[in-house]
Amino acid sequence: MRGDLDYIKSVELNVLLNSRDQDRMSVLCVATTWEQLDCCEEILKRCPSLLYHHNNYKWSVLHRAAYQKNYRLIDFYVSAGLEAAKCEGGTDNMIRFRKWINLQNREGRDTALILAVARGSRRMVKRFAEVDHQYKLGLSEIVGSNKRTALQWAMHYEDHKMIQMLTGSGDPNHSGAGAASESIIFTFAEVCKHNKLEDCWLLINNKVYDVTKFLRDHPGGSEVLVQTSGKDATTDFEKAHSHSSNAVTMMDEFYVGVCDSITSLLSQLANDKPQLYSRMQLEEFTKNFSQLLGFGSFGDVYKGQFPNGVFIAVKVLKNIESKEKVMEEQFMAEVDTMGRAYHRNLIKLYGYCYESNTKFKALVYDYMENGSFDKILFEKKLDVPWAKLHIIAKEIAQGISYLHESCYPQIIHQDIKPANVLLDSNFSPKIIDFGLAKINNGESQFEQTKIKGSRDYMAPEVNQPEKVKLSCKLDVYSFGKMLFDILGSKRNHVDKSGFPSKVWEKYKTNELDAFILECGIKEEDKENAKRLAIIALLCVDHNPRARPMLSNVVKMLEGKMKLDTPVTPFYPEYYSSESSSMSDSRDY
């Protein structure tokens, strides 16, 4: 029944704490159902532990408030939860808060955010999205009813405002940027291991962006990030941080330059986030899709140009009636994944187009001048020195490592192969095609009912007749197979069947050095090539747990980590079953 504020203030504490209805709903949840904010405030003041309570159907007060479409209650509870998190151990320790806000009800496995999307409340969605982005809670990635995330539901309802909120592209003024005075801008940046200018990246609202082009317009130019690495911007770089500036994952403060205000900076950078485009805009950018760059079973890619002169690649997905659901899933996976992943070795997603009435779906990427990596490895499109191929391998490993170890939730690509790597004008690799990507919400392993990936790069555990637990080691195996492609790319003869097994045989008989030279690799590159060959064998170990993490692979390729001894690469039946060309990449 309806609560009475005077009664709530005077009743014994244990009555408020322990009273439950037939569904085990607390008095706080009952007051929420009746949308009595004053009663909710008083109950929570006297019984703060009730904030985290849920009934038999796993409905929390957040679920109830979202169902009632009551923004004031949502804002009140989220603020109360954050305040409690600070009291319990600081907002950097959000374990209890994350578990509470991510709670899925029993009926549809829906979070309060998914209910907010379903109820069409943009204000509630915005509040949840702000907290999710700020504290990296993984809320918007949780799969609920009909196996859809909040973002996928927003796309289903064609609510573009919600889509922008959930992808982080809707509010340029909500930022995780550093301190700023009226005219001086301070930002966060990720510094590469070797302090190369092109590797300086800007962190805005928990996203990483390339800032070298932005810095050219400000005093100090692009040199400023390197010169002030590890320094405190507030005291003219005289106060040193305790961090080392030689860490790829380290975030430091930097003086960027003079600007009118932080809003001015953020508004310029807001365009770097994935944007929603209309079909008419894409037709203008591509001159009615007149310049075809490539085609595949699921879509065609066209060259285009933004009005500011920046070249782009537009991938238009095909409408295949028999595969409509698969196409939609891949499109949503691509937007969902690339909307949160930013790294110099991942392709940049400028935006997307989605028109449900015409079933037109397209993705807008950065244009890569040197095309796909497979053309270089298999068709000898360009004569790239082997030393450069070694660098490309290391940078691809860095990109995959970022997906596995620096993204929350973890992202598993599931289709790593040379055809899914593009090269820019400097031959820097960019990983593409996240249509099969798996967003791994908090678990190290997962089960999969459908076989995904390309045959020659697919880990053997995927093809097991019985259900097995899969993990990010799928990508490690695929990367190992790609290392064999790189190792054999300088050979004169075309036959590539059985090449990995030949490498393994030569390694076991201590003939690897001579074999590497036979592959057309020069003497000065032999040691790096030998190291790469051993790493490839480690990556394709038949036991997924024995495969190294990609962060360790990067260290191995750089010669900064001792190599283990390969023991059991491939499955025992590998040698008899391997008869297909390594360049064949038919999809399953």
Taking the C-alpha atoms of residue 137 and residue 482, their distance in angstroms, rounded to an integer, is 34
Q: ∠74-77-78 over CA atoms, to 5°?
A: 80
- In the block, tokens 């504020």 appear at 5
Q: Catalytic: which of 132, 374, 415, 541?
A: 415
Taking the C-alpha atoms of residue 332 and residue 330, their distance in angstroms, rounded to an integer, is 5
Helices 473-487/550-557 angle, 10° precision: 30
Our measurement of the distance from residue 585's CA atom to the centroid of its chain's CA atoms, rounded to an integer in Å, reads 24
Contact 423, 376 (CB under 8 A): yes
Q: How many beta carbons lie within 10 A of that of residue 547, not counting itself? A: 25
- In the block, tokens 């300088």 appear at 490
Secondary structure of residue 352 in the 3-state scheme: strand
Residues with Cβ within 8 Å of residue 24, at least 6 apart in sequence: 55, 56
Residues with Cβ within 8 Å of residue 285, at least 6 apart in sequence: 277, 304, 305, 306, 312, 314, 364
Residues with Cβ within 8 Å of residue 433, at least 6 apart in sequence: 334, 415, 420
| Intra-chain end-to-end CA distance of the chain, in Å | 57
Contact 481, 533 (CB under 8 A): no
At residue 462, φ and ψ (nearest 5 deg) are: -65, -30
Amino acid at 124: M
Contact 256, 203 (CB under 8 A): no
List the beta bridge partners of residue 587.
454
**Two tokens, residue 281:** 């805009």
Pairing of strands 349-355, 275-276: parallel
Residue 171 annotated among the catalytic residues of the structure: no
Q: Which of 356, 290, 335 is nearest to 433 (CA)?
A: 335
Contact 279, 358 (CB under 8 A): yes
Taking the C-alpha atoms of residue 271 and residue 144, their distance in angstroms, rounded to an integer, is 30
Residues 43-64 as b/e (b if ≥16 CB within 10 A, e otherwise) read bbeebeebbebbbeeebbbbbb
Residues listed for the chain: 588
DSSP letters, 86-115, are HHHH-TT--HHHHHHHT---TTT---HHHH
Per-residue DSSP letter, 466: S
Residues 354-365 as b/e (b if ≥16 CB within 10 A, e otherwise) read beeeeeebbbbb
Asked whether residue 315 is marked as a ligand-binding residue, the answer is yes
**Two tokens, residue 436:** 């099969």
Q: ∠336-341-346 over CA atoms, to 5°?
A: 115
Known binding residues: 315
Point out the residues that are catalytic.
Answer: 415
Known binding residues for ATP: 315
